[in-house]
Amino acid sequence: MYVAPNGLFPEERRSLMNAISTYINEALEELRLVRWPTRQQAVRFSAIVIGFTLVCAVFFGIIDFILSIGLHTILSLAS
């Protein structure tokens, strides 16, 4: 059985290229249908995400601080 040097027969290569081309064309078609946010919406949503991230960082920082004090206290009592 003959195997092409790159592992694909010419028909398979064409089929693969057609599949890739179809995928790219369909992806571009879907991107044209996307309803993109306005600049104002993008800024507002970005501010919400940044604010939520900061709140979470502070919350987890406080929890970490409290747990480290508790662990330090427990270990100091054990010794």
Grouped pLDDT means (10 residues each) for the chain, 79 residues: 57 79 94 94 98 98 97 89
Tell me how far apart the alpha carbons of residues 58 and 62 are, in angstroms, rounded to a whole number. 6
Q: Where are the domains of the chain?
A: 1-34, 37-79
Query: What integer pLDDT is reported at residue 71 of this predicted model?
Result: 95
Query: What integer pLDDT is reported at residue 14 of this predicted model?
Result: 75
Query: Buried b vs exposed e over 46-65: b needs ≥16 C-beta within 10 Å?
Result: eeeeeeeeeeeeeeeeeeee
Q: Which residue is associated with the tokens 């879907």?
A: 30
